[in-house]
Amino acid sequence: MARSPSRSCSQSRSRSTSASPTRPSAPLDVLAHFEQVLSSSADMTPPIAAIKALVHLVTHSSATTFNELHTLLSNAVGRLQSDHKHAIAASAGCTLFNQFAMKTFTKEHNFERTKQLLVTRGHDFVRSVDSFRDKIATVGNPFIQDDAVILIHSYSRVVMRVLQRAAADNKRFTVYVTESRPTDSGVRAVESLRKRGIPAHLILDSAVAYILSKVDLVLVGAEGVVETGGIINHIGTYQVAMVAKEKKVPVYAVAESYKFVRLFPLDQYDLGIEKNVGILADAPVAADLDEAAAEHRGVAAMAPSAPVSPRGEVTDVGVLAARNDIVLEMQKSNPTLDYTPPKYITLLFTDKGVLAPSAVSDELIKVFL
């Protein structure tokens, strides 16, 4: 018995549909897009990448009701704030976008209009980000005087902008940069400063107390600014700030207001990042060490002793590989962020102006009212 054309066409469509790949769930899509956006530009920050990922999600959403869109965004935000290396920084962008979404849901009654507003205003906010750094460079500029000696820790885009602005105003100053283990992001900072003709010197993390005796001020960035007015930043910021306070050197934290987060840590372990937190986005990856360790791991077992050069340096590849293993273990098991309490922060330079740490909670209240 011959099959009817309509039935054959229907079966063909059915087979085609079943053979097509299953579309990933929305939370997985948003995290993948977040990582893609973050890696697309050296100037991209996790909070802005999170906002762009959420805007992308709303744009391509098939939701037809407020409830569906709310659920979709809640799941996506939960995924972006999950346990991964950018959780704290991404949560700042998520919280900002989510707050705007809730306000829009309350005011608007037309669903399509609501979606369009979320997308349009999300894009507008992302486009305005560069102006935030310019504002911060303007408010921070008067604090950098001619012949100043400045200490910075790790690599921060907005700290670079402040220093570049001061140099553009023909101010002469010298910058000391910590190596910033385990990511070695201080190397990137030194290279960036030298390319712009700014005198910069790399120092050991353990040399901070030594160098502070001739430093006029400390500039640090922030992954997040918490409700207490303290900051979350590259590991070692806490001890730099502690030593600076002991030496009576002012510490200025530099951060965009979109990095303000609703966290109230009392100590380091309230952050939930004390171990296995991965490597920061700005950090060089130690794949070369991993490869060397894998290649020469067997040599260490055969080497009866550790040959040294006339200068006293170990030259045996097996011993070097073992050392590389230790370095890799350090990178994987040590935290990359710490919390600096507000008592160690002199002032914050933000796009909202120069703030005392105690004023951060007031700024957060304005956002969430």
Round to whole Å and give the CA distance between 185 and 270.
Answer: 25
Residue type for position 338: D
Task: Identify the structural domains of the chain with CATH numbers, from first to last.
Answer: 30-128 (1.20.120.420), 144-267+337-368 (3.40.50.10470)
Distance CA 236, CA 231 (A): 12
pLDDT of 8 above 60: no
Q: How far apart are CA 244 and CA 240, in angstroms?
A: 6
Better-predicted residue by pLDDT, 305 or 148? 148
Which segments within 91-243 are labelled E, that is strand? 148-152, 173-178, 200-203, 217-220, 224-225, 231-234
What's the rounded Cα separation, in Å, for the pair 365 and 272? 24
- What pLDDT was estimated at residue 338? 95
Worst-scoring range by mean pLDDT, 7-21, 81-95, 110-124? 7-21
Comparison of pLDDT for 268 and 212, the residue scoring more? 212
Q: How far is CA 51 from CA 91, 192, 197, 355, in A?
A: 10, 27, 34, 25
pLDDT for 215 equals 98
- Contact call for residues 335 and 234 (beta carbons, < 8 A): no
Choose between 315 and 259: higher pLDDT: 259
Residues forming a β-bridge with 202: 177
The answer on pLDDT for 17 being more than 50 is no
**111-148, pLDDT tens digit by residue?**
999 999 999 999 999 999 889 999 999 999 999 999 99
- Whether 303 has a pLDDT exceeding 90, the answer reads no
Whole-number pLDDT of residue 307 = 55
* Exposure string for 120-150, b = 16+ CB within 10 A, e = fewer: eebeebbeebeebbebbbebbbebbeeebbb
154-165 pLDDT, tens per residue?
999 999 999 999
The angle, 0 to 180 degrees and rounded to 10, between the axes of the packed helices 66-80 and 46-59 is 150
Beta-carbon contacts of 356 under 8 Å, excluding residues fewer than 6 positions away, are 229, 347, 348
Residue pair 239/178 in contact (Cβ under 8 Å)? The answer is: no
Longest pairwise C-alpha distance within the chain:
96
pLDDT at 286 over 60: no
CA atoms within 13 A on the CB side of 347: 13
- Position 83 scores a pLDDT of 56
**What's residue 318's pLDDT?**
58
Torsion sign across C-alpha atoms 121, 123, 126, 130: negative
What are the pLDDT digits (tens) for 178-209? 999 988 999 999 999 999 999 999 999 999 99
Banded model confidence at residue 269, pLDDT cuts 50, 70, 90: confident
> Mind giving me the DSSP string for 32-100?
HHHHHHHTT-TT--HHHHHHHHHHHHHHT----SHHHHHHHHHHHHHHHTSSSTTHHHHHHHHHHHHHH
% of the chain at pLDDT higher than 70: 75
Neighbours of 217 (CB within 10 A): 19
Is the pLDDT score of 71 beyond 90? Answer: yes
Most confident of 123-132, 280-289, 340-349, 358-367: 340-349
Q: How confident is the model at residue 365 (pLDDT cuts 50, 70, 90)?
A: confident
**8 Å CB contact between 350 and 222:** no
Pick from 359, 357, 331, 360: nearest CA to 346 = 357
Rounded-to-integer distance, Cα 298 and Cα 136, Å: 53
pLDDT score of 317 = 55
The whole-number pLDDT of residue 323 equals 63
Average pLDDT over residues 253-260: 96
pLDDT tens column, 307-324: 555 555 555 555 556 666
pLDDT tops 90 at residue 26: no
pTM of the model: 0.78
pLDDT at 19 over 90: no
**Which two three-digit tokens encode residue 345?**
């922060």
Say if residue 279's pLDDT is above 80.
Answer: no
Q: Are 259 and 92 in contact (CB under 8 A)?
A: yes
pLDDT above 80: residue 367: no
Token pair for residue 173? 């100053």
Reported as a pLDDT band with limits 50, 70 and 90, residue 81 is confident
* pLDDT for residue 2 is more than 60: no
Q: Is the pLDDT of residue 352 over 90?
A: yes
Q: What is the pLDDT of residue 197?
A: 97
